[in-house]
Amino acid sequence: MQIAHEHVRVRVPATSANLGPGFDAFGLALGVWDDLTVRAVAGPTRVVVEGEGNGNLPDGEGHLVVKAVRSGLEMAGAPQAGLELLCRNAIPHGRGMGSSAAAVVAGLIAARGLISDPAALDDATVLALATELEGHPDNAAPALLGGATTAWVDDEGPHAVEVPLAPGLRPTVLVPDARLTTSSARRVLPAQVPHADAAHNVARAALLVLALGGRMDLLLAGTEDRLHQGYRSDVMRPTAEAVRALREAGWPAVVSGAGPSVLVLERLDRPTAETLSRHGWRVLDPGVAAEGAHLVSP
Ligand SMILES: Nc1ncnc2c1ncn2[C@@H]1O[C@H](COP(=O)(O)OP(=O)(O)O)[C@@H](O)[C@H]1O
Ligand SMILES: N[C@@H](CCOP(=O)(O)O)C(=O)O
């Protein structure tokens, strides 16, 4: 395997995982994009970050995208090289919008674009490597495939399928100033849950698939969760309060990923959006990203 292209450019979407009841399974790609250029060079690795993460991320081999490119090149049996990255980032970090999964998927798609036989890094291989590097196929799958997905893991590794989405679905994302790492939001989860709560989520997850496909009347029931959001409420009080208030008002609101952003699976009306903005939430109307991570001409 050779490095066949000296530089590539990749776009990768934000994602919102879980969608309420589908903990560690459902995910939705959102129209907020990171845009990266990766160049293979003879000199040392150097990373320039514009936008999100500027000043806070490693500028060399420790950068997550660099690690992902290297992992892709290694899997493909291609030689390593120095890497120059220009990352124009729009996906907020540590907010439950899948920034780390996006970084990893972007690096792997960049590796696919650099090598002489891109089939060596097909979607199944990228999903497996992304899950190994980042841990969350529920984010990696929609970042890779676009739209809505269900991911699961068995003895062979991670798998994902697309979930059909009604064309009218228009999500709203509420982003707070506060950040929370996914690892700290996972530490508060119990090792076991009551059987009745598991049964509750099974039915809600099935309803959500129907709702996403067009049965909008099932959206509110289909976004109820008892497996993670309640346990996480103490580490994201304003998020828990916003989800509660929105649901009481009839909006299908859930914690986005591991939080602290909120995902509403409907476009909020203007008065509600304005009230939330006044209370410090950034209100996004990103649309669904129908396409996942892809190469664009540099
Ligand atoms: N585009 C990026 N480039 C490099 N590192 C990133 C990027 N996006 C996220 N990260 C790393 O991942 C961390 C956030 O990951 P995580 O806690 O899983 O939150 P999120 O919900 O945003 O994925 C960041 O603090 C940073 O270390
Ligand atoms: N299923 C994971 C999803 C984490 O998503 P992120 O966008 O917060 O990284 C979880 O809920 O922990």
pLDDT digits (tens, 9 = 90+) for 81-125: 999 999 999 999 999 999 999 999 999 999 999 999 999 999 999
Ligand 1 pocket, residues with Cβ under 6 angstroms: 34, 53, 57, 63-65, 87, 89, 93-100, 103, 181-182, 257
Print burial letters for 158-196: b (CB count within 10 Å at least 16), e (below 16): bebeebebeeebebbbbbbeeebebeebeeeeeeebeee
Q: Which of 91, 99, 182, 189 to mutate to test the pocket of ligand 2 (most atoms within 8 A of CB)?
A: 182
pTM score above 0.90: yes
What topology does CATH give the domain 7-164? Ribosomal Protein S5; domain 2 (3.30.230)
ipTM summary value = 0.98
Cα separation, 239 vs 175, whole angstroms: 9
Residue ranges of domains in the chain = 7-164, 172-284
- Predicted confidence (pLDDT) per residue in 206-232, tens digit: 999 999 999 999 999 999 999 999 999
The dihedrals phi and psi of 61, each to the nearest 5 degrees, come to: -60, -20
| CATH label, 172-284, candidates 1.10.4160.10, 3.40.718.10, 3.30.565.10, 3.30.70.890 | 3.30.70.890
Kindly give the distance from the C-alpha atom of residue 216 to the centroid of ligand 1, in angstroms, as a whole number. Answer: 32
